[in-house]
Structure 1
Amino acid sequence: MTSPVMVIGSGPIGAVVARRLAEDGCPVTILEAGPPISDPPGHHVRNQDRFHRDPDSYFEAIASRLRYFDEAAPARGLPGASVSAAVGGQGVLWTNNCPRPALFERGELVAAGEWDHYLDVAQRYLGVAADTFAGSVRQQRISHRLRPLLVAAGREIREQPMAGHLVDPATIHYVATGDILAGTGVRIEHAAVRRVIVDRGRVSAVELDDGTTLDASAVVVAAGALDTPILLHRSGIRPQAMGKRLTYHPVLYSQLVLDRQLCGGADDVPPRLWIPPTPAAPWNTMILRDTNPVPPSPPDIDIPSDRLVEMQSFCPVDNHPENTMTIGDDGTVRFDVPLREADQVRMAAALADQNTLAGALGRFRSGLEPQWMALGFAHVMGTCRMGRSDDGTCVTDEFGRVWNTDNLYLATVGVIPNSLAVNPTLAGAALAIRSADRLLAQQNSY
């Protein structure tokens, strides 16, 4: 019997790889080090009734699931950088926002037509829709209020694509790994992988923490942008480019109290809007009623939920050659990603933009004026970049295959080679499905 392809990591990107392989009849097993933390396992934690009733309790509830590398690190050491392990990976915890990258964000490794094809497939696998909240009165009124202001600046406002659907006006079903794998027969096995075993450029097996080895016809490491290079390092796979040129999103967060004429009443569907990045305004902004991780201050403690929206702006950090994630032989991790002048200019512009948008919609809620979340908290990318040639600037080829190996692939936003402004999950999933197709072609050629 042919050994299965081992996918290490059960988050949404590992799940789309496993689904693609299974649909082609390829035997595949997902290995996950973390425990089940949702019921049923692999489904989104946020689908619980208590988070529909009290969405602002969500971040506090999942805080214990995040393991930070060094919360006391200076800003350039990314004190917000963290990882988590659970059945379903980040797929049971993520925010599910899936905007498509703008043309100027695409990079040069994938042709435009191929890129659009794989983004479409990724949207289908992830259950992404852009019209889920079209019935929101607040969404319609906010869009109408902001559109002239944005159009005058060469920008636009759209419905935010999201992996999920409405069960009823007050209940969102958030897509997770369990939804992606439904009907595929793919199993998630509880197993902590110590290392990938490579012999003369070819993966033969994975070794678990208990010393057991599992044979594999190929391995796809889908352990996230941080745990993926950590596993490679532990396996003795240490290309020069690993951990270099990484990027991430500083997140500017605020909450607004809307003008009363923008509100739609207590039964209104929550809004979820998106102001895409442009070359002149290269940050990604969402206006939505989602979840609020920061306590308000008097006199704004008790504000009706239908008057509240959050604003989140994601600023890309340039993937400078000296942005580094350093992994020690003892497993310790250190980041050195200083904010350079161009990064700071973008961040200042995003802050000014939030102030302008807030002035058009209402006012900031007391205690929830614009503030930067801990740096490194969101969307670390580029830790194991794709590239066209093994020139010391990338870890894999343009299909995610690790240089100097035949059958070791990476599927993570860590392979994204360029700085993105939008949430990277959809882009990472599209590249992962493309990698799965290349792996299938390789497997079928043997």
Structure 2
Amino acid sequence: MTTPAIVIGSGPIGAVVARRIAEAGRAVTILESGPAISDPPGSHVRNQEGFQRDPDSYLAGISSDFSYFDETAPPRELPGACVTAAVGGQGVLWTNNCPRPGASERGELLSAAEWDRYLGAAERYLGVAGDTFAGSARQQRILDRLGPALAAAGREIREQPMAGHLVDRDTIHYAATHDILAGTGIRIATADVQRVILEQGRVAGVQLADGTTVQTTAVVVAAGAFGTPILLHRSGIRPQALGRYLTYHPVLYSQLVLDRQLCGSTDDLPPRLWIPPAPSAPWNTMVLRDTNPTPPSPPDIDLPASQLVEIQSFCPVDNHPDNTMTITDDGTVRFDVALREADNARMASTLADQHELAGALGRFRAGVEPRWMTLGFAHVMGTCRMGASDDGTCVTDEFGQVWGTENLYLATVGVIPTSLAVNPTLTGAALAIRSADRLLAG
């Protein structure tokens, strides 16, 4: 069995790579080790009617789809770090927020024109729109309330770009792998890839768990920020930078009871607003009505959704070579990511900012005051980072090709070499499409 190109992993980043390759007329197959957990396979779980009716049940409803490395680990060992093996990967579970990275988050590997071109391509593939909830009365009133003060502080607030669309006022369609691959004819085959086979540095195939070898001329590993370095390590591909320079963004979460004059009608569209990182406030903030996993306390247990919004703040952790994901020969994974003085100071400022925003909009809902989510749960990056030279600080070149190999590419947020405050999915997808173009050009 021979196929010209294999993509390992069926999440949204693997899907955009496969689509790009297929659009160029090249044959491509996606290999996925996990089962389908949605219908149709690769569609977003949150499109199910029950979660549309009761969005606050969502995180509890998908909890069994996360496999944690060590939930009992201390904070510096990232007890929230987890993986999902499923058709569509964690892309069938994500919240679909797709902001572009700010200028300070992009680094120097791509020109401004390249960033614009590839971010635009990623937005098209993912179905990103920035005006989905423009009809929300709460959204406009919050914009009017917060806009002037934020502008005076050198910040802005605008609609949050999202991968999806409104079906009707009560139904949001969340885009996932099924949508990205629609009409392409790309097949997702069930296969547990154990290692990538290289012959004199060139890709020769992949070996599956059942002992089968699948020959191929090119492999793109899109197994996530954790699964990708694990597969490289298992394949004997162990560059110095593998698992080093890990970064992520701790998430601060709260829910507000809005001032009465900000509330909309009971059938008002949910707001989804974004306060991008700024030099004076380098964290990413969303003000939205999405999902609340935390039970409220009296007297705020029974409140209509039209009076509520959440604040989610994503506070970036600095890049550091000693922020590590260590993989042993028996497959054990250990993390060591200390929060340093600058990280803690930034987190304290993020907390103060949430209190200030809450004071401008209303008050915290009892029982849902600001709290940090389990460290490592959201958006780990940098585990197999890209770079301009093979100097021991990166795993791939600036196009995502593993140093010292031919036609072995990585497509994951793990290649992002900078510290991001924004959700990294769009950035990772843009870099992955660029990698696909490089593969096709070779």
- Normalised to the residue count of structure 2, the TM-score between the two structures is 0.99
Q: Residues 131-183 of structure 1: CA distance to partner in whole angstroms, max 9, x if unpaired?
A: 00000000000110001110110100000000000001111000000000001
Q: What is the match of residue 115 of structure 2? A: 115
Match of 1:199 in 2: 199
Task: In structure 2, give the amino acid aligned to 1:261.
Answer: Q
**Amino acid in structure 1 at the alignment position of 2:61:** A
Tell me how far 1:2 sits from its aligned partner: 6.6
Give ranges in structure 2 of 5+ residues lacking alignment: none
The letter for the 1-side match of 2:204 is S
Q: Match of 2:365, as an amino acid?
A: R
CA distance in 2 between partners of 1:200 and 1:257 (Å): 62
Counterpart CA distance in 1 for 2:227 and 2:106 is 25
Note if contact 2:2-2:214 (Cα within 8 Å) is conserved in structure 1: no
Residue 4 of structure 1, CA deviation: 2.4
Task: Name the residue aligned to 1:233.
Answer: 233
Corresponding residue of 1:385? 385
**1:249 is paired with a residue of what secondary structure?**
coil
Does 1:398 find its partner at 2:398? yes
Partner of 1:407: 407
How do 1:35-434 residues align onto structure 2 when only pairs under 5 Å count?
35-434=35-434
Deviation at 1:72, TM superposition (A): 0.9
**Structure-2 separation of matches of 1:134 and 1:28:** 38
Q: Distance in 2 between matches of 1:4 and 1:138?
A: 51
Q: Which amino acid aligns with 1:363?
A: R
Shift of 1:234: 0.6
1:232 and 1:181 map into 2 onto residues whose CA distance is 26
SS state of the match for residue 131, structure 1? coil
Q: Distance in 2 between matches of 1:279 and 1:111?
A: 21
State the alpha-carbon separation in 1 of the partners of residues 296 and 402 from structure 2. 47
Paired with 2:117 and 2:58, the residues of 1 have a C-alpha distance of 34
Residues 376-420 of structure 1, C-alpha deviations (whole Å, 9 max, x = no match): 000000000000111000000000000000010000000000101
Shift of 1:280: 1.4
Structure 1 SS opposite 2:380: strand
Question: What secondary structure does 1:142 align onto?
Answer: helix
SS of structure 1 residue aligned to 2:196: strand
Per-residue deviation at 1:265? 1.1
Give the Cα–Cα distance (whole angstroms) in 2 for the partners of residues 147 and 160 of structure 1: 14
Secondary structure, aligned partner of 1:248: coil
The Cα of 1:62 is off from its aligned counterpart by 0.5
Contact 2:275 2:285 in 1 (8 A): yes
Cα distance in 1 for residues equivalent to 2:13 and 2:152: 38
> What SS is found at the alignment partner of 1:380?
coil
Aligned residue-pair number: 442
Offset of 1:91 from its aligned partner?
Answer: 1.5
Cα RMSD, aligned residues only = 0.8
- Displacement of 1:3 in angstroms is 2.6
What are the Cα deviations for residues 174-233 of structure 1, in whole angstroms up to 9, with x where unaligned? 000000000111000011111111111011111110101111110000000001000110
Whether the 8 Å contact between 2:381 and 2:416 is mirrored in structure 1 is yes
SS of corresponding position for 1:247: coil
CA distance in structure 1 between the partners assigned to 2:91 and 2:195 by the alignment: 23
Measure the CA separation in 2 of the matches of 1:320 and 1:21.
Answer: 34
- Runs of 4+ in structure 1 off by over 6 angstroms are none
Equivalent residue, structure 2, for 1:439: 439
Q: How far apart, CA to CA, are the structure 1 residues paired with 2:3 and 2:328?
A: 33
Cα distance in 2 between the residues matched to 1:2 and 1:25: 17
8 Å contact kept, 2:11–2:88: yes
Could you tell me how far apart the structure 1 residues matched to 2:4 and 2:95 are? 31
Contact 2:80–2:375 at 8 Å: present in 1 too?
A: yes
The letter for the 2-side match of 1:114 is E
Mapped to 2, the partners of 1:388 and 1:336 lie a distance apart of 26
